[in-house]
Amino acid sequence: MNNFWIENFRLVIITAALLFTVGLYCILVTRNMIRVLIGMELLTKAVTLLLVLAGAVTGRMAMAQALIITLIVMEVVAITVAAGVVVGAFRHTGNVSTESLDEAKG
């Protein structure tokens, strides 16, 4: 099992890198705040995959899983607060567009 993942190492790295790219692209390009949150979630998934790979390749799956569980808990709270910010912004502007929040910049 361990050796399978060492040989197919690049496949997982590529998948994680592509997930990261899609997430980052989503954050940069979208004008909908909720879609930005979805991009953030994709970034988290990419990183989770990297951690699983790390565990599989080094054989230290117990440690890696503990790290992943901690990561998931932290990210849930973070995304919930982020959703709260989006809802709060919506209550001010009536929409979830990222542009309507931009005040006059100095």
* Cβ 73 to another protein shortest distance, Å: 5
* Cβ 99 to another protein shortest distance, Å: 11
Tokens representing 39?
């991009």
* Cβ 104 to another protein shortest distance, Å: 10
The residue written with tokens 């990419």 in the block is: 46
